[in-house]
């Protein structure tokens, strides 16, 4: 899942490889850091959700972040921040309960599914009698329609795309607007049975169905591209007002049924999300907790400059936890030759970028792989040359590589947010290092609200730092990393890291992906290293969760499926 945080990078959802009801232990290395992570399934979980200790009802909260969600259309959501917000607005087929800090898959609008003997179809039982915000009934046909809608990837280009390759005829069906609603991959029987037919086995399907794209949408109320302005709510809150790129206000959805929801709460009367403000400024406001800011939080990882304040009384205003993401700076392999990519790596100012971006040991650790340590199968192999995540770079040596390749003056271009100091600083650091190495540089400044759409446009006139700038586990398996980011089809899906077009690599990824999970886990690391040797991206850091909250905010914990605060448990103390 595409990530969203301090540097405006996904998403991600953590689950486990093959659905099971066991609860394996998480394993740590000798430093105590989690190196593998698994999660259980609880197929019998029922509502209402267990009460959060100390919780009370009432009050309104303010949520700050400089990074701006690009959509709240459930079909198009893939970034972690909009996904977490979606948990307030939408009920999905399945969902995650966070128990003792670990994700457990549980039912929501359906059960967790039953797979056929040949592994090519899944049957889900639907929960009837639930309602939308307007009081109308949520029907199984609405869920089926929403799934079909996700195939309109030309309209909803940012949404997840596993269905395009895993669902039956997913490579042919183009969604209801183009192909109509008659689709062999999704069948409905009666009022409570949903069947999904597959092109190939997909053991992780119940986990995938926790995504917002599996939130029901009535066909009669689908306004296509305009639906993002006010999607109909089925969760505990509904939209009161929405100014894209700036502000979102939520109020209680009186038609949400807490008795049937095993995860969500409705403690607060309302939410106000304010985006685009400088993170350091709003984080300081939250720490000061004057007036309304006592009832506020900032969901971007805390800036390094504020760390010295997180002691004494303010220590309780800092919440830490697990996060399943890796940030990178990708390089367009279709435009930048390998020898030039190696020169970029040689010159890369890791330490300067770390400092300019405000990253610190509380929220990150330098990355040397694509998969983070929380993903089963991760191995800390010897870093690929110049991709070790640390050091100040060697511009002189990089220039020699360019000279040998006859590429001195090769132009590198990227988008950056020209309205905020931190992204300006990061861009300036990168520009200085690459110019010294003999590159021509074209840094293109854009407003905050335009950044995500710009970096995710693979036809734009740039060749590095495109989107996604980071990735989070959709569930903890290499299967939610390598196949999504590095296959040729990832370009059309809008999830490509490096825009690789390598049929041999595609075949190797498919070979591992088609293995049983207990066999594939140990094989992902070798592929991770092979792709790293292609210099398709510069590794930046693995994330840790670390955010600041106001003194009146309670119930905040990390949602390890997102690397975000678990909004559904938040309350105000008074």
pLDDT tens digits, one per residue of 48-63: 999 999 999 999 999 9
Pick the closest to residue 264 from 567, 16, 503 (CA basis): 567
pLDDT of residue 304: 86
pLDDT of residue 493: 86
Residue 21, pLDDT > 70, answer: no
- Place 402 in a pLDDT band, splitting at 50, 70 and 90: very high
User: Where is average pLDDT lowest: 455-464, 465-474, 509-518?
Assistant: 509-518
pLDDT of residue 2: 65
Pick the closest to residue 38 from 107, 112, 111, 103 (CA basis): 103
- Place 3 in a pLDDT band, splitting at 50, 70 and 90: low
> pLDDT tens, 161-179?
899 989 999 999 999 999 9
Give the count of alpha carbons within 13 A of 185, CB side only: 27
Q: How far is CA 397 from the centre of its chain?
A: 36
Residue 385, pLDDT > 80, answer: yes
Gyration radius of the chain over CA positions? 23
**DSSP assignment letter at 8:** -
Rounded to a whole number of angstroms, the distance between the first and last alpha carbons of the chain is 36
What is the C-alpha to C-alpha distance for residues 103 and 144, in angstroms, rounded to an integer? 26
Pick the closest to residue 341 from 244, 274, 410 (CA basis): 410
Q: What integer best gives the mean pLDDT of the chain?
A: 91
What is the C-alpha to C-alpha distance for residues 249 and 209, in angstroms, rounded to an integer? 27
Give the count of alpha carbons within 13 A of 491, CB side only: 12
Residue 361, pLDDT > 90, answer: no
Residue 27, pLDDT > 70, answer: no
Q: Give the whole-number percent of the chain exceeding pLDDT 70.
A: 93
DSSP for 288-321, written as a single string = HT-GGGGGEEE-SPPPGGGGGGSSGGGGGGEEEE
Residue 439, pLDDT > 80, answer: yes
In the numeric block, the tokens 């907790």 are attached to: 289
| Whether 114 contacts 41, CB under 8 Å | no
| Whether 15 contacts 567, CB under 8 Å | no
Average pLDDT over residues 94-102: 90
Instruction: Work out the burial of residue 34: count CB atoms within 10 Å of its CB; fewer than 13 is exposed, 13-18 middle, 19 or more buried.
Output: middle
Instruction: Work out the burial of residue 214: count CB atoms within 10 Å of its CB; fewer than 13 is exposed, 13-18 middle, 19 or more buried.
Output: buried
DSSP for 107-155, written as a single string = ESSB-S-EE-TTSSEEEEEB-TT-B-TTSPBP-HHHHHHHHHHTT-TTT
pTM confidence score? 0.76
What is the C-alpha to C-alpha distance for residues 564 and 557, in angstroms, rounded to an integer? 9
C-beta contacts of 309-313 below 8 A and 24+ residues apart = 310/362, 310/548
If one counts every other C-beta atom within 10 angstroms of the C-beta of residue 148, the result is 25
What is the C-alpha to C-alpha distance for residues 256 and 560, in angstroms, rounded to an integer? 25
Task: Give ∠ CA 512-515-517 in degrees, rounded to 5.
Answer: 105
Give 519 or 264, the one with higher predicted confidence: 264
3-state secondary structure of 468: coil
**DSSP assignment letter at 292:** G
Average pLDDT over residues 18-42: 40
pLDDT of residue 203: 80
What is the C-alpha to C-alpha distance for residues 328 and 250, in angstroms, rounded to an integer? 33
Average pLDDT over residues 29-46: 59
- Most confident stretch, 38-47, 445-454, 468-477, 530-539: 530-539
- The two tokens of residue 558 are 């990390």
Average pLDDT over residues 478-505: 93
Beta strand segments in 228-283, E = 237-243, 247-252, 270-275
Average pLDDT over residues 538-564: 94
- The two tokens of residue 2 are 């595409």
Give the count of alpha carbons within 13 A of 101, CB side only: 11
- The two tokens of residue 242 are 């929405």
Neighbouring residues of 76: CB distance < 8 A, sequence distance ≥ 6: 70, 156, 157, 158, 159, 228
What is the C-alpha to C-alpha distance for residues 440 and 435, in angstroms, rounded to an integer? 6
Residue 30, pLDDT > 50, answer: no
| Whether 192 contacts 184, CB under 8 Å | no
> pLDDT tens, 169-205?
999 999 999 999 999 999 999 999 999 999 998 888 9
What is the C-alpha to C-alpha distance for residues 49 and 467, in angstroms, rounded to an integer? 36
- Place 432 in a pLDDT band, splitting at 50, 70 and 90: very high
3-state secondary structure of 559: strand
Residue 258, pLDDT > 80, answer: yes
User: Where is average pLDDT lowest: 113-127, 244-258, 370-384, 505-519?
Assistant: 505-519
Task: Report helix angle 338-347 to 395-405, nearest 10.
Answer: 170
DSSP for 181-219, written as a single string = S--TTEEEETTTEEEEEBSS--TTHHHHTTSGGGS---G
Task: Give ∠ CA 154-214-145 in degrees, rounded to 5.
Answer: 65
Three-state secondary structure string covering 349-373? CHHHHHHHCCCCCCCEEECCCCCCC
User: Where is average pLDDT lowest: 67-71, 253-257, 414-418, 433-437?
Assistant: 67-71
Question: Cis omega (within 30 of 0) on the bond before 529?
Answer: no
Beta strand segments in 261-335, E = 270-275, 296-298, 318-321, 325-330
pLDDT of residue 176: 98
């Amino acid at each position: 899942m595409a990530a969203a945080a301090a540097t405006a990078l996904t998403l991600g959802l953590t689950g486990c490889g093959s659905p099971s009801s066991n609860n394996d232990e998480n394993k740590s290395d000798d430093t105590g850091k989690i190196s593998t992570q698994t999660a259980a399934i609880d197929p019998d979980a029922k509502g209402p959700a267990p009460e959060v200790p100390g919780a009370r009802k009432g009050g309104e909260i303010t949520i700050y972040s400089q990074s701006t969600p690009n959509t709240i259309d459930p079909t198009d959501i893939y970034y972690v921040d909009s996904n977490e917000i979606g948990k307030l607005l939408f009920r999905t087929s399945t969902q995650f309960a966070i128990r003792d800090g670990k994700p457990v898959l549980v039912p929501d609008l359906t059960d967790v599914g039953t797979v056929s003997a040949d592994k090519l179809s899944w049957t889900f039982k639907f929960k009837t009698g639930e309602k939308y915000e307007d009081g109308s009934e949520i029907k199984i046909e609405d869920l089926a329609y929403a799934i079909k809608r996700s195939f309109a990837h030309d309209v909803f280009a940012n949404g997840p795309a596993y269905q395009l390759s895993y669902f039956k005829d997913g490579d042919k069906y183009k969604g209801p607007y183009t192909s109509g609603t008659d689709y062999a991959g999704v069948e409905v029987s009666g009022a409570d049975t949903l069947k999904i037919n597959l092109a190939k086995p997909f053991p992780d399907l119940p986990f995938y169905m926790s995504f917002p794209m599996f939130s029901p949408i009535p066909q009669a109320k689908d306004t296509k591209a305009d639906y993002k302005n006010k999607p109909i709510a089925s969760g505990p809150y509904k939209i009161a007002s929405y100014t894209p790129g700036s502000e979102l206000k939520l109020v209680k959805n009186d038609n949400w049924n807490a008795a049937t929801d095993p995860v969500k709460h409705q403690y607060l009367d309302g939410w106000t999300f304010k985006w685009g403000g400088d993170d350091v400024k709003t984080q300081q406001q939250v720490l000061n907790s004057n007036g309304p800011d006592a009832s506020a939080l900032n969901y971007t990882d805390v800036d390094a400059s504020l760390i010295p304040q997180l002691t004494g009384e303010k220590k309780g205003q800092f919440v830490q936890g697990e996060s399943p993401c890796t940030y990178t700076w990708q390089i367009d392999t279709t435009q930048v030759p390998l020898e030039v990519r190696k020169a970029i790596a040689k010159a890369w100012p890791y330490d300067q970028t770390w400092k300019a971006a405000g990253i610190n040991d509380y929220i990150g650790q330098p990355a040397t792989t694509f998969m983070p340590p929380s993903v089963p199968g991760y191995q800390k192999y010897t870093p690929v040359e110049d991709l070790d995540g640390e050091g100040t770079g060697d511009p002189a040596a990089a220039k020699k590589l360019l000279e040998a390749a006859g590429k001195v003056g090769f132009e590198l271009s990227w988008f950056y947010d020209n309205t905020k100091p931190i992204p300006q600083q990061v861009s300036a650091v990168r520009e200085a290092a690459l110019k010294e190495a003999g590159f021509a540089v074209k840094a293109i400044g854009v407003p905050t609200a335009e950044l995500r759409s710009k970096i995710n446009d693979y036809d734009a006139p740039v060749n590095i730092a495109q989107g996604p700038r980071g990735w989070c586990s959709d569930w903890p398996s290499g299967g939610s990393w390598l196949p999504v980011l590095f296959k040729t089809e990832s370009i059309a899906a809008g999830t490509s890291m490096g825009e690789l077009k390598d049929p041999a690599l595609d075949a190797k990824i498919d070979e591992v992906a088609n293995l049983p999970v207990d066999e594939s886990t140990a094989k992902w690391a070798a592929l991770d290293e092979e792709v790293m040797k292609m210099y398709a991206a510069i590794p930046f850091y693995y994330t840790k969760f670390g955010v600041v909250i106001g003194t009146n905010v309670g119930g905040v914990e990390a949602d390890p499926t997102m690397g975000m605060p678990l909004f559904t448990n938040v309350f105000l103390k008074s």
